Amino acid sequence: MKKSRLLEELYSQYRHLMYHVAYGILKDHNLAEDAVHAAFLKLAENNYQIDEIICNKTRAFMVIVVRSTAFNLYSRNNKHKDVYFLEDQIVEAVDNNPTPLELIVTSESVDMIKNTLQTMSPKYTNVLTLKYFYCYTNKEIANLLLISEENVRVRLHRARKILAARLVKRGISYEQKYTQ
């Protein structure tokens, strides 16, 4: 499928959802529309693999893209970087598609990992989701989130440490699984 046709179909399918997510962050109709259009410009400028238009994986991906764009607009307009939001669509998408992370954990711990991800800052949840659910490279994640590759590496490192620490507090340990 041609890229322009793919973008048209994505826009037709997800523009309302993306607007809703952006409006929830920005609380401004015009800025929310700007965020949706900027998100599609990001997609047009980069080559991202989208297998199916209508599926939870694509839906979650579109939410991550617009959410990142809305956060950038919010930060630019308000000079605040301490606003955090959780997006259920990412967790819903994980329910239907096993991630590399899910393949190495027991089925009982998957729900606990999902719940723990919901308690983390989106800047960490986004990089973990893009890296391990969508299998994007650090460079692709950097382009998508408009941050440096070094920032992606730092966020991934911090996110893994936070996730591991929170899971240990909840009784899940990587060592336990592989030493039994």
Residue 118, pLDDT score:
83
Residue 174, pLDDT score:
52
Q: What is the pLDDT of residues 93-144, one digit of tens each?
A: 444 444 444 444 455 566 677 778 888 998 898 898 888 777 788 998 888 8
Please count the structural domains in the chain: 1
Could you tell me the residue range of the domain that residue 36 belongs to? 3-179
**Predicted confidence (pLDDT) at residue 89 exceeds the cutoff of 80:** no
**Predicted confidence (pLDDT) at residue 14 exceeds the cutoff of 90:** yes
What is the chain's alpha carbon radius of gyration, rounded to the nearest angstrom? 17
Q: What is the pLDDT of residues 127-140, one digit of tens each?
A: 988 887 777 889 98
pTM exceeds 0.75 for this model: no
DSSP string, 7-51: HHHHHHHHHHHHHHHHHHHH--HHHHHHHHHHHHHHHHHS-----
Q: What is the pLDDT of residues 23-40, one digit of tens each?
A: 988 888 999 999 999 999
Rounded distance between C-alpha atoms, residue 94 and residue 75, angstroms: 28
